[in-house]
Amino acid sequence: MARIIDVVDHVNVMDDELVYREPQQGGGDFRMGSQVIVQESQAAVFVRQGQVLDALGPGSHTLSTANLPLLSGLIGLVTGGRNPFTADLYFVNLKDLPQVPWGTNPPIVLETPGKGVGVVLLITHGVIDIGIDDSVRFVKQYGVGKPILRLGDIRDRIQSMLLGEVAGLLSSSGASSIMDANRLLADLEGAALARLNEQFAAIGMRIKAFEAKPFTAKDVSTEELRNYVDFETYERIRRLEVAQSAASNPGVGGTAAGAGVGLGVGQQIGVYRDKDMVGDSPFTGGKYTGKNPVKDYQKLRGLYQKAVKEADLITVGIGFNGREIVWRGFGEERRFAVAELRLRGLHNVENVMASLIPALLAGCPPPMAWQAVCSFSGLEHRMALVRVLDGVSWYNDSKGTNVGSVIKSLAGLAPPVTLIAGGKDKGGDYAPLRPLVADKVRHLVLIGQAAERMAEAFQDVTCVHRATDLRHAVERAREVTPAGGSVLLSPACSSFDMFTSFEDRGRQFTELVLACEEKLDAATSGSTI
């Protein structure tokens, strides 16, 4: 039997300590009448059999059914409450941890079209002030089962969240140089702080301050670069180096086909070479004979992109013609209609192509590989198809908490779209979303605190409706969306005015849509899949 605990506290808190369990070996016996002393800037959380239950704030507490209602109910204490019960008690440090260092490891890849090799690796570092805001939620996420939890134990998780947000903000900002990135640095810091706090709230934490130093470039070799960029970008840069090397050493072969095949399209570049690079072609007899390798590379790059788009010209490899993914290899051709995919968006088509390549090269039968990618519905709350109802496709994109995310989601849908948006306003600019809303969104249904501001931003480009809550929004969207259209929940706002998290918002939306009954006969129902 575990020892009886009559009085317990935790005074000697280390600087980087987050959670401390009493007793350290776990499983102390408490009873009604035991005293728990909680210091200032602490919380004490009871856990029994892995289930997080009651929490106590600062002060001296005599345990009773009044301050331990959940635990009391679970263990079924008899009248009098003197029976011991076994539990773990976790002391949570609620003090802010200031000046916690972070840095770009790995570096952030920034595309720089028309400049150098087309990408630059950005590095920076900075500090954050971080702390625990919700002791119960944090213990559920990280504390249960650990005698002691320090900041270093979750540093990788924090680092990953920071880098993801900074990289996402840079991408959506349109920055195409280090100077652009540094001009936006102050805005990035403010936006990152707001967006990160939405993520950290889900694990019971908060960030009070976020600081980043000016960006600089990380110098790496081409071989090292493949650790940070996608295969196509790596091959493009490698071909530039081949061309430059051939220019300085004419005896080195430099044919387009030999410079690299990218996504299996090296051979179709060769098809274009004689037809399109007329006159003084820089490629003769398998050797580079030109005078401007950079200019010639840019020409090849254009031909490469043309070849990718015109997948019908593929000799060996994979491509996309706007309707079908085309695969040619091992003496056969296969065509796959992207309409059969459950995923939406051009970026997802590219992801599917990248997934198919290793499977097909390994000898997986094409029908089997295609069936596998078609069965994948995506991650929850990220353009997840909920159902097709009366010919209308309903999508849960609750993770779309910013304008950049909504732009990507809308781009993958054909009109007419009914967009359900709104929530807690982040104070960002909705202007970048206007062209897509005007082009694709026939009805905009708004909820939450941001509804008025969003209505002002879009009322001149689409039909705007206001809804009192998510249920009302679903009902209104169903009324106005015709068969063949889509309803998209992609709020462009955080969830904390009406929901506990974006996951909570997405699940409620899914439940409401699944609860709707069909209006039309199956024979008259269509689908936009």
CATH code of the domain in which 205 resides:
3.30.479.30
Q: Residue 250 pLDDT more than 90?
A: no
Q: What is the mean pLDDT of the chain?
A: 77
Number of separate domains in the chain: 5
Q: Residue 106: pLDDT band by 50, 70, 90 thresholds?
A: confident
Based on the fold, state whether residues 447 and 515 are members of the same structural domain: yes
In-domain check, residue 399: yes
Based on the fold, state whether residues 87 and 102 are members of the same structural domain: no
Q: Residue 76: pLDDT band by 50, 70, 90 thresholds?
A: low
User: What residue has token string 């005293």?
Assistant: 35
Q: Residue 469 pLDDT more than 50?
A: yes
Based on the fold, state whether residues 415 and 513 are members of the same structural domain: yes
**Average pLDDT over every residue of 224-230:** 74
Range of lowest pLDDT (152-166, 258-272, 323-337): 258-272
Q: Residue 73 pLDDT more than 80?
A: no
Range of lowest pLDDT (1-5, 362-366, 436-440): 1-5
β 417-421/392-396 pair status = unpaired
Based on the fold, state whether residues 81 and 194 are members of the same structural domain: no
In-domain check, residue 89: yes
- SS3 for 169-187, per residue? HHHHHCCCCHHHHHHCHHH
pLDDT at 116: 60
| All residues at 6 or more sequence positions from 190 whose CB lies less than 8 Å from its CB, including other chains | none
pLDDT at 392: 92
Q: Residue 78 pLDDT more than 50?
A: no
Q: Residue 519: pLDDT band by 50, 70, 90 thresholds?
A: low
In-domain check, residue 222: no
Q: Residue 274: pLDDT band by 50, 70, 90 thresholds?
A: very low
Q: Ranked by mean pLDDT, which of 154-163, 273-282, 504-513 comes out on top?
A: 504-513
pLDDT of 93-103, one tens digit each? 999 899 999 88
Based on the fold, state whether residues 109 and 210 are members of the same structural domain: yes
DSSP code per residue over 280-320: S-SEETTEE--S-HHHHHHHHHHHHHHHHH-GGG-SSEEEE
Share above pLDDT 70 across residues of the chain, in percent, rounded to a whole number: 77
pLDDT at 114: 60
**Average pLDDT over every residue of 280-296:** 48
Q: Residue 117: pLDDT band by 50, 70, 90 thresholds?
A: low
In-domain check, residue 494: yes
**Of the residues 271, 301, 331, the one at which a domain ends:** 301
User: What residue has token string 């840095």?
Assistant: 103
In-domain check, residue 307: no
pLDDT at 524: 37
Top-confidence residue, 42 or 354: 42
Q: CA nearest 181: which of 189, 170, 196, 190?
A: 170
Helix (H) and strand (E) counts in the chain: 16, 26
User: What residue has token string 């006969």?
Assistant: 521
Query: Can you give the pTM of this predicted structure?
Result: 0.45
pLDDT at 243: 54
**Of the residues 268, 301, 334, the one at which a domain ends:** 301
pLDDT at 451: 93
* 126 bridge partner residues: 102, 212
Based on the fold, state whether residues 85 and 44 are members of the same structural domain: yes
In-domain check, residue 313: no
Q: Residue 236: pLDDT band by 50, 70, 90 thresholds?
A: low
The neighbour count for residue 508, using CB atoms within 10 Å, is 20
Q: Residue 276: pLDDT band by 50, 70, 90 thresholds?
A: very low
| All residues at 6 or more sequence positions from 30 whose CB lies less than 8 Å from its CB, including other chains | 4, 5, 63, 84, 85, 86, 87, 89
Share above pLDDT 90 across residues of the chain, in percent, rounded to a whole number: 23
Contact 48, 179 (CB under 8 A): no
d(CA 121, CA 62): 57
Q: Ranked by mean pLDDT, which of 65-74, 365-374, 455-464, 497-506 comes out on top?
A: 455-464
d(CA 20, CA 377): 41
CATH of the domain at 504: 3.90.190.20
pLDDT at 229: 74
pLDDT of 185-208, one tens digit each? 877 778 888 888 888 888 899 988
**Average pLDDT over every residue of 49-68:** 87
Full domain range(s) for residue 396: 384-524
pLDDT at 448: 93
**Of the residues 184, 217, 250, the one at which a domain ends:** 217
- H or E element: which one contains 514? helix 502-514
**Average pLDDT over every residue of 31-49:** 89
User: What residue has token string 């005015």?
Assistant: 497
pLDDT at 248: 45
pLDDT at 271: 30
In-domain check, residue 308: no
pLDDT at 521: 44
In single-letter form, the type of residue at position 177 comes to S
Top-confidence residue, 359 or 80: 359
Q: Residue 81 pLDDT more than 60?
A: no
d(CA 85, CA 411): 57
Based on the fold, state whether residues 364 and 469 are members of the same structural domain: no
β 463-466/441-446 pair status = parallel
Q: What is the longest distance spanned by two Cα atoms in the chain?
A: 100
Based on the fold, state whether residues 402 and 484 are members of the same structural domain: yes
Based on the fold, state whether residues 392 and 496 are members of the same structural domain: yes
**Average pLDDT over every residue of 496-508:** 89
In-domain check, residue 224: no
Based on the fold, state whether residues 213 and 242 are members of the same structural domain: no
**Average pLDDT over every residue of 234-263:** 46
- Helices 155-173 and 185-201, interaxial angle, to 10°? 130
**Average pLDDT over every residue of 516-528:** 51
DSSP code per residue over 224-253: HHTTTS-HHHHHHHHHHHHHHHHHH-TTSB
Q: Residue 509: pLDDT band by 50, 70, 90 thresholds?
A: very high
The neighbour count for residue 319, using CB atoms within 10 Å, is 22
- Residue 527's SS3 state is coil
Q: Residue 132 pLDDT more than 90?
A: yes
Based on the fold, state whether residues 211 and 329 are members of the same structural domain: no
Top-confidence residue, 427 or 255: 427
Based on the fold, state whether residues 141 and 210 are members of the same structural domain: yes
DSSP code of 259?
A: G
